[in-house]
Amino acid sequence: MTYNSTGLVVHDADAHIMETPNWLRDHADPAIRDRLEPLRYPSGNELRQTGDPSEQLADLDTAFDRLAQRHAADEYR
């Protein structure tokens, strides 16, 4: 992802780690799990590195799977 006017590509060491849409629900006590809603990302800013945020918001699980695959790729490291 380009971060400056020179076009230099920079990879942040923390890879902008963030919670996936279902992380809390997936790890919650079964007694309350069904009452928890998935996280939402209304600004879309968090999804820009995988494409158009409006398209990513349509299927957050798939968008986060793509992010995980991208971060695991040898060319990303």
CA–CA distance, 35 with 33 (Å, rounded to integer): 5
Name 9's bridge partners: 2
Q: Nearest-CA neighbor of 71 among 17, 24, 19?
A: 17
Cβ-in-10-Å burial (0-12, 13-18, 19+) of 20 comes to middle
**pTM (2 d.p.):** 0.41
pLDDT per residue as tens digits for the range 53-67: 667 667 777 877 887
pLDDT per residue as tens digits for the range 25-50: 888 999 999 998 877 666 655 566 56
